[in-house]
Chain A
């Protein structure tokens, strides 16, 4: 992937010289490419003269970074405390069952990534599931079946 190295070089240049720039650089690459490829990590290590192991350490420590590409559609369940006491774990459980992957994984066909988040500030709607950026509130286990059934507007959609 030639483009990856390209993006990394351009982004490193943009942050030129700043000693606190490693994390922002990785964030920018992640935002642009959706994940941090091995090429990107190597380019950052070289470009910033930071040992690859240190770059890798940071990339794997923080939740914001992913070392693998995400699916075409992203399903994100809130597992924050407010959603939890309203039954979010049953909702997540059902999402895992339906998609056949655990939270944090992508389906084999690359279609869905299942993610979790801690509180979206939408606790009044809890439990909340976000599908491709659209919030679905007051979710129950039963709603999940409809949610992934192809008609995302119908189940528990709040708008």
Chain B
């Protein structure tokens, strides 16, 4: 592999690769995203490879991996070109048919196509699927097209052209100006203007000239995986973004701090780094311009608080991951006390796009104060679970109904939670809200990293608030008293309420604790921890009251407050529940209505999930 000696050689390399590529008759792309891997796409890939060999058409066919295609509910996804035929739910057993029918005979296998559950329409290609039609896929479409382990794929798609342009034609100040014009705000949670951070770092003095760059890939939000998909699916876009940023602020050393649970992302970024280095795109004298930049990859230690910038920096320094007060910004004094720019994975991945296509183009997408697109992980009680990318300001309704396909199982939408443990819940009647940084904050939630958790009417909002408080109580680093003790007390109170031991005073105390934590916590973990509680109190107060005053859990979730019984009219007497009940609390003759012994029942709910006739009820 030859080193590139000048910025103009990127375009040459791209031409070379494209010429070489034209030769294949077919391209078969298997999705290797996190969702498909969990279902077993590796076996699908192996089965396809074996079938191609068996059929003797290995020469004419390019079988490759791509990153996440987004529609995780349809895993494993296989896309076949020419024609862009989109197969979903593919198993290893389908491999032979795909090769014999689709590749050799050009016939489409209907059984593997996507069928729209509402209209019954069959989609042959990705663009015909409503889930994709409504999106603006800038980052995600690259991931869906590229083999992340092959730098040539990235270059063929125009990758590293932004770096070439930067090193060839732009002054550092011009790079920052372009980012300022784009209006790019950080995708890691706070939405801080990226250009302002870069300017502060560029202007900060460093005694020996050392400055650092950090990519925050700690992705702590426990229901979001967009950063992982970007890092696994298009690592070069992050590296290119960091290179441009490093040139702009004058840094020569970068770190990628990857969440402990993401071994594949670590591997992906390491492979990409080595390839970029071999091509002269990273390391010393990049593209022969004299600019040096190195990247180290660090694995996180598995602490949520280390997603916070100062805690992350402490952890990179080999210390306990505790945050520090930010009187002095990390842009001025960060890693090893040197000026440091820290940005989120998705923020970095947007940078090459902005430099290539211009800040004004980016600013034209989204809303006035929140520009560009945002990747969301749309999960929970939603039909089309997956990753979606939309212009900022897209109404929640469109995300949930048109793209997400609504709530499955004939249930009703109850609430949507955004922003992870620091965010809040919005009730179903607020779903016309446009999703951008400011509108979400006004409504008592926040953008966060882009997790969107959809909840149906069988979700208890008090239990849900307790879930986040428990999570945060576990993850509080313990350095400041307010957060450590406050979360413990909040957990106690919420536990009491869900166990039927709450009083109206408990709710008042809860509200007071929330206010203190907002004001007095050392870092944003504690300061935003009240959000899940305050937002559920704001929109679902009646549910708290039902627990406290009525001793009831209206959603039928809190075990201490519910009793199970069987609706004799709906029960067919099949006996399935009685067989599954671990306590033997259900009795009845086959063919006749069964009943539950309330004394013996432990409210585990197995009977309810077992019953196919919806005959098990709760009070």
Chain A: residues with CB nearer than 8 A to chain B? 19-24, 27, 57-58, 61-65, 79-87, 89-90, 93-94, 97, 117-126, 128, 135, 137, 140-142, 145, 158-159
Query: How close is B290's CB to chain A, nearest CB, in angstroms?
Result: 27
Query: How close is A28's CB to chain B, nearest CB, in angstroms?
Result: 10
- Residue pair B35, A86 in contact (C-beta under 8 Å): no
- Residue pair B35, A64 in contact (C-beta under 8 Å): no
Q: B71 — nearest CB in chain A belongs to which residue?
A: A124
30 pairs, CB–CB < 8 Å, chain A vs chain B: A20-B316, A23-B301, A23-B315, A58-B301, A61-B321, A61-B477, A62-B300, A63-B302, A63-B303, A79-B222, A81-B222, A81-B467, A84-B223, A84-B467, A85-B381, A85-B455, A86-B381, A90-B604, A118-B220, A118-B223, A119-B225, A120-B34, A121-B34, A122-B34, A122-B38, A123-B225, A135-B38, A137-B39, A141-B604, A141-B606
Asked if B563 CB lies within 8 Å of chain A CBs, one says no
Q: Identify B299's interface contact among A27, A79, A118, A122, CB under 8 A.
A: A27
- Residue pair B298, A24 in contact (C-beta under 8 Å): yes
CA A4 – CA B467 in complex, angstroms?
Answer: 39
A22-B318, A81-B417, A142-B606 given; A121·B301 CB < 8 A: no
Q: A144 — nearest CB in chain B belongs to which residue?
A: B606
Q: B378 — nearest CB in chain A belongs to which residue?
A: A123
CA A117 – CA B34 in complex, angstroms?
Answer: 15
Provide the residues of chain A in CB contact with B295, threshold 8 Å.
none
Query: How close is B462's CB to chain A, nearest CB, in angstroms?
Result: 13
Query: How close is A122's CB to chain B, nearest CB, in angstroms?
Result: 3
> Taking chain B's interface residues, is the majority helix, strand, or loop, or is none over half, making it mixed?
mixed
3 nearest A-B residue pairs (beta carbon): A121-B34, A62-B301, A81-B223
Q: B414 — nearest CB in chain A belongs to which residue?
A: A85
Q: Identify A124's interface contact among B75, B228, B316, B321, CB under 8 A.
A: B75
A118-B222, A145-B582 given; A128·B606 CB < 8 A: no
Interface size bracket, B side: 35 or more
Q: Identify B453's interface contact among A27, A57, A58, A85, CB under 8 A.
A: A85
Query: How close is B72's CB to chain A, nearest CB, in angstroms?
Result: 4
Asked if B327 CB lies within 8 Å of chain A CBs, one says no
Q: B415 — nearest CB in chain A belongs to which residue?
A: A85
A21-B318, A84-B467, A128-B38 given; A64·B260 CB < 8 A: yes
- Residue pair A141, B301 in contact (C-beta under 8 Å): no
A123-B225, A124-B75, A142-B609 given; A86·B320 CB < 8 A: no
CA A3 – CA B520 in complex, angstroms?
Answer: 48
Query: How close is A57's CB to chain B, nearest CB, in angstroms?
Result: 5
CA A135 – CA B451 in complex, angstroms?
Answer: 22
Q: Identify A141's interface contact among B225, B477, B609, CB under 8 A.
A: B609
Asked if B128 CB lies within 8 Å of chain A CBs, one says no
A58-B319, A81-B453, A90-B604 given; A121·B38 CB < 8 A: yes
- Residue pair A124, B604 in contact (C-beta under 8 Å): no
CA A64 – CA B316 in complex, angstroms?
Answer: 15
- Residue pair A119, B223 in contact (C-beta under 8 Å): yes
Provide the residues of chain A in CB contact with B386, threshold 8 Å.
124
Asked if B261 CB lies within 8 Å of chain A CBs, one says yes
- Residue pair B301, A64 in contact (C-beta under 8 Å): yes
- Residue pair B261, A117 in contact (C-beta under 8 Å): yes
Provide the residues of chain A in CB contact with B321, threshold 8 Å.
61-62
Query: How close is A138's CB to chain B, nearest CB, in angstroms?
Result: 11
Provide the residues of chain B in CB contact with A20, threshold 8 Å.
298, 316-318
- Residue pair B385, A82 in contact (C-beta under 8 Å): yes
Q: A59 — nearest CB in chain B belongs to which residue?
A: B301
Asked if B361 CB lies within 8 Å of chain A CBs, one says no
Q: A85 — nearest CB in chain B belongs to which residue?
A: B380
CA A80 – CA B454 in complex, angstroms?
Answer: 13
Provide the residues of chain B in CB contact with A142, threshold 8 Å.
580, 606, 609-610
CA A125 – CA B33 in complex, angstroms?
Answer: 13
